[in-house]
């Protein structure tokens, strides 16, 4: 447990001190596959002060896992699915107008093509990945002004998504975790964290799951709302022009 805590503490110290982190380990399973970043194991305090962000609770990510360096782009989607449903066209712009079920189809096909098991991040993994060792409201610092260096939001986005990777990465080497497009995650949405596993996995679904959790905010959000703990539920069948996703896979 001490080792896991020290990972988060070290990352937070590096961010606050302005020191540079070592280059993150990245890989691609095929030329047109998403580039993946290896995220280390660790633990963190999940949640915030918002109505739907409680109770705050400790989560322990026991094993390293891989996370998409960028949100899935239209070119990456088209390479697997053979079509492009997006409202805002551009090969390097995140895909949008995809339902949660559409995403599952993409993940199944990508997994078949590569022989690896791709999936969505769980909600706990997503917050762990965006925080990257930080404990402040915004993953980039204590004041919302820092968000301008890391993400696209209303006021600087020209009310549209932008090509991935134009802003700064976080301490794990992940881009656009704040803003650009909101991101589907695996979990069935519930308005609190009661009964959520403390090991980073998703709470098992019992019965019908109409809404799935989405994280990260988008080009349509206000700057102040791109907090690490901010979360919403969206009907799984919805296809929205500011909602996309990034992938994960176990190591």
pLDDT for 170 equals 96
Low-confidence ranges of the chain (pLDDT < 70): 1-22
| Residue 218 and residue 182 in contact, taking contact as beta carbons nearer than 8 Å | yes
Domain boundaries, the chain: 2-250
Query: How far, rounded to the nearest angstrom, does the alpha carbon of residue 196 sit from its chain's CA centroid?
Result: 18
pLDDT for 236 equals 97
pLDDT for 23 equals 78
Instruction: Return the closest-CA partner of residue 123 out of 242, 35, 11, 228.
Output: 228
Give how far Cα 102 sits from Cα of 5, 9, 54, 98, 174, Å: 36, 37, 30, 6, 24
For 94, the token pair is 């995140």
For 138, the token pair is 């915004």
**Angle at alpha carbon of residue 244, lines to 243 and 250, rounded to 5°:** 140
Say if pTM beats, i.e. exceeds, 0.85: yes
Mean pLDDT for the chain? 91
pLDDT for 10 equals 43
Whether omega for the bond prior to residue 139 falls within 30 degrees of 0, making it cis, is no
Rg (CA), the chain: 17
Burial class (CB in 10 A: 0-12, 13-18, 19+), 208: exposed
- List the CATH code of the domain at 2-250: 3.90.1580.10
pLDDT for 22 equals 63
Residue 132 CA to residue 141 CA, distance in Å, equals 11
Beta strands in 42-145 (DSSP E): 42-46, 57-61, 65-68, 118-119
pLDDT for 7 equals 47
Give how far Cα 201 sits from Cα of 60, 128, 173, 197, Å: 10, 12, 22, 6
H or E stretch including 77?
Answer: helix 74-81
Q: DSSP readout, 175-199?
A: --SSBSSEEEEEEEP-SS-TT--SS
């Amino acid at each position: 447990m001490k080792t896991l805590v020290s990972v988060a503490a070290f990352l937070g110290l590096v961010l606050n001190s302005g020191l540079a982190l070592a280059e993150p380990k990245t890989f691609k399973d095929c030329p047109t596959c998403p580039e993946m970043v290896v995220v280390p194991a660790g633990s963190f305090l999940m949640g915030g002060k918002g109505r739907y962000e409680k109770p705050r609770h400790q989560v322990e990510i026991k094993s390293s896992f891989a996370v998409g360096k960028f949100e899935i782009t239209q070119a990456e989607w088209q390479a697997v699915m053979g079509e492009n449903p997006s409202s805002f066209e551009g090969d390097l712009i995140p895909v949008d107008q995809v339902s949660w079920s559409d995403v599952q189809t993409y993940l199944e096909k990508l997994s078949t093509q590569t022989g690896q098991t791709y999936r969505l991040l769980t909600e706990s993994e997503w917050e762990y990945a965006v925080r990257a060792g930080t404990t402040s409201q915004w993953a980039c610092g204590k004041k919302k002004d820092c968000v301008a260096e890391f993400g696209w939001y209303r006021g600087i986005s020209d009310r549209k998504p932008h090509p991935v990777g134009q802003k700064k990465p976080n301490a794990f080497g992940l881009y656009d975790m704040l803003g650009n497009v909101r991101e589907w995650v695996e979990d069935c949405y519930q308005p609190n964290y009661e009964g959520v596993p403390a090991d980073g996995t998703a709470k098992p679904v019992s019965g019908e799951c109409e809404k799935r959790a989405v994280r990260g905010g988008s080009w349509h959000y206000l700057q102040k709302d791109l907090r690490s703990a901010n979360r919403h539920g969206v009907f799984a069948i919805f296809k929205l022009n500011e909602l996309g996703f990034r992938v994960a896979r176990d190591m």
